[in-house]
Amino acid sequence: MGLQQGLVKWFVGVLFLGTLLLCNADVHHYDFFVQESNFTKMCNTTTLLVVNDSYPGPDIRFRRGDTVFVNVHNQGNDGFTIHWHGVKQPRNPRFNGLEFITQFVLSEEIGTLWWHAHSDWTRGSVHDETYPFPTPDAEQTIILESWYNGYYKQIIDQALATGDPPRLPDAYAINGHLRDTYGCPNTIFRMEVDYEKTYLLRIINAAMNEQQFFTITNHTVIVVAQDASYVRRFKSDYILISPGLTMDVLVSANRNVGLYYMATRPFSDSAALNSRGGLNASLIQLPAMDDTDAMLNFVSRIRNTNVTQNMPKNVPVDTDINRRVYIAVAVNRLPCNTSKCVVSERIVSSLNNVSFVSPRIDILQAYYRNISCVFTQDFPLNPSEFYDFTGQLTGFNSGTEYRTRAIVVNYGEAVKIVLHPIHFHGYSFYWVGAGLGNFNNETDPSTYNLIDPPLINTVHVPCRGWVALRFFANNPGKFSVRKSKIKRTLIVRNGSTIETSIRRPRPSTIPRCHGT
């Protein structure tokens, strides 16, 4: 069976899509050798699953119009899949990444993963495309992560056996380095810059669950992009970035020559703060861990922009909507009688009272080959009961079930979803609205931003709140709709033409599930 959610996060890598004239397109080849390796942080040695013996993982750099081949060699002890976060792979959902949903896990096989940046999702002609701002002098990847003392797979296995959530992280890392207050060698990440030069920071939040505040002491950043889509530029002393989200910012080295802290702190708007790690350096100014006003102030400033480098805006308006979905997230304790459980109950997350069960055959192949008894196409589009979803409930049980149920939409339909924190595989969506308390279908739509909403593939909802998303279902296939540890399946039916249908045939290099 494949690795559970979270383990694969340890070999986080970065995809960079640059710009170039299409006539200069190149072909790039990469080999990923995946295996367990030991790393020492906080004076403690931990086993991580990594690519090419590096932590964080290697960068992949290419330009619009290039073709990239990645050969993945599994030299570890477990099966896994790789999700190409934010890479749409139009009409080719077979390598999208979650085990038993779009593909079976890689075991001893070697698979070739590929995508082509000049595709259905790229405009027909690109001529001498440049940044929509002055070209930076250099760039730097910044990966924010949770750090655990201990082998992460064992932490997840223990959580699954006991029915409790994984324990809290021991610390937070920037590019695999921790803060300099632990008294251990090589604990801090250093970035050397030149005076009066401007740098593009590509920031990725690869933490397990936590939103992160991020700042550079005594410096202001200019936010320029989010999830590979340019935004209306604005200045800020800090950013807030959600798990799975990417953000590009510009920073100018315009202060006196010296050393300046680069720092991160988790944000939590729940009653209990979600980290044992902390930040106590008096020189660093970051919002408090529970500063909801700082969070709202930052996210409210993110707006789409009409630069030519972005895809043309195509926000579904009210008259476009064909499919409306209201999803409520819940956490339940359900009986567990299998040999994997050491207690009689386990914590189960659910969407609309359905807790996802991984099937024996990946759902995409079951759908593509019309194999029965793998999943059903009847995921409820509304909760079975409406109540105060954002309040404190005790003794309330609306009947959660273990099922493999999918949402099915037709090609070209305009979809509106009101939900809790979600990452969409295979799609970006417009974040048109958000609020606190229960969503009110009579009054809340009047607050939607249908003019310049952010185009993203990951969204966070404040505790006790909601978000509204819209997108056109124009990428056929089977995709995962995912909230941290909760999975749900979205199936977009083929359109009426070859160009609007899943690519054929199925590549022979895809690992097959047992019995298929």
Distances from the Cα of 371 to the Cα of 363, 374, 394, 515, angstroms? 9, 7, 41, 12
3-state secondary structure of 313: coil
Tokens representing 510?
């895809």
Helix or strand (DSSP H, E) at 417: strand 414-419
Q: Is the pLDDT of residue 470 over 60?
A: yes
Name the pTM for this structure. 0.76
For the domain spanning 138-299, the CATH number is 2.60.40.420
What is the number of H-type helices and E-type strands within the chain? 3, 29
- Residue 215: which pLDDT band, with cuts at 50, 70 and 90? very high
Residue owning tokens 């080719």: 92
Query: Which residue would you say has higher pLDDT here, 341 or 154?
Result: 154
Checking DSSP bridges between strand 67-74 and strand 110-116, what pairing results, if any?
A: antiparallel
Q: How much is the average pLDDT of 126-147?
A: 78
**Cα(34)–Cα(370) distance, integer angstroms:** 33
Contact 51, 32 (CB under 8 A): yes
Q: Is the pLDDT of residue 280 over 70?
A: no
Q: How much is the average pLDDT of 420-432?
A: 64
In sequence order, the β-bridge partners of residue 174 are: 144, 177
Tokens representing 100?
């038993």
**Cα(328)–Cα(465) distance, integer angstroms:** 11
Q: Is the pLDDT of residue 395 over 90?
A: no
3-state secondary structure of 18: strand
Residue-wise pLDDT for 17-66, tens only, equals 444 334 456 888 888 888 888 887 777 788 877 888 887 777 777 777 77
- Residue 438: which pLDDT band, with cuts at 50, 70 and 90? confident
Is the bond into 56 cis (omega within 30 degrees of 0)?
yes
**Cα(418)–Cα(435) distance, integer angstroms:** 11
- The answer to which of 90-104, 239-253, 257-271, 426-440 has the lowest mean pLDDT is 90-104
Q: How much is the average pLDDT of 2-9?
A: 31
Q: Is the pLDDT of residue 278 over 60?
A: no
Query: Which residue would you say has higher pLDDT here, 372 or 88?
Result: 372
Contact 69, 29 (CB under 8 A): yes
Q: Is 333 exposed, middle or buried (0-12, 13-18, 19+ CB in 10 A)?
A: middle
Q: How much is the average pLDDT of 461-471?
A: 83
The pLDDT of residue 458: 78
Q: How many CB atoms lie within 10 A of CB 353?
A: 18
Q: How many CB atoms lie within 10 A of CB 435?
A: 17
Q: Where are the domains of the chain?
A: 7-116, 138-299, 318-500
* 432-435 own/partner pairs: CB under 8 Å, 24+ apart: 432/315, 432/468, 432/469, 432/470, 433/467, 433/468, 434/299, 434/461, 434/462, 434/465, 434/466, 434/467, 434/468, 435/465, 435/466
Q: Give the residue among 424, 403, 395 at the shortest CA–CA distance from 350.
A: 403
Q: What is the mean pLDDT of the chain?
A: 74
- Name residues whose C-beta falls within 8 Å of residue 378's C-beta, 6 or more positions apart in sequence: 405
Tokens representing 434?
């958000």
Query: Which residue would you say has higher pLDDT here, 314 or 450?
Result: 450
Q: How many CB atoms lie within 10 A of CB 232?
A: 15
The pLDDT of residue 250: 97
The pLDDT of residue 76: 74
Residue-wise pLDDT for 288-333, tens only, equals 888 888 988 999 999 998 777 777 788 999 999 999 998 887 777 7
Do 138-299 and 318-500 agree at the fold level?
Answer: yes
Q: Give the residue among 121, 148, 147 at the shortest CA–CA distance from 65.
A: 121
Q: Is the pLDDT of residue 274 over 80?
A: no
Q: Is the pLDDT of residue 343 over 50?
A: yes
The pLDDT of residue 448: 94
Count of all residues that appear for the chain in the document:
516
| Start-to-end C-alpha separation, the chain | 16
Look up residue 415 and give its amino acid. Answer: V
**Cα(249)–Cα(133) distance, integer angstroms:** 11
Q: How many CB atoms lie within 10 A of CB 250?
A: 21
- The answer to which of 14-18, 367-371, 387-391 has the lowest mean pLDDT is 14-18
In sequence order, the β-bridge partners of residue 345 are: 335
Tell the CATH topology of 318-500: Immunoglobulin-like (2.60.40)
Q: Is the pLDDT of residue 145 over 70?
A: yes
**Cα(376)–Cα(455) distance, integer angstroms:** 30
Is the bond into 505 cis (omega within 30 degrees of 0)?
yes
Query: Which residue would you say has higher pLDDT here, 317 or 89?
Result: 317
- Name residues whose C-beta falls within 8 Å of residue 428's C-beta, 6 or more positions apart in sequence: 86, 88, 227, 229, 455, 456, 457, 471
Distances from the Cα of 150 to the Cα of 113, 167, 407, angstroms? 31, 11, 37
Domain 7-116 -> CATH class: mainly beta
Contact 381, 464 (CB under 8 A): no
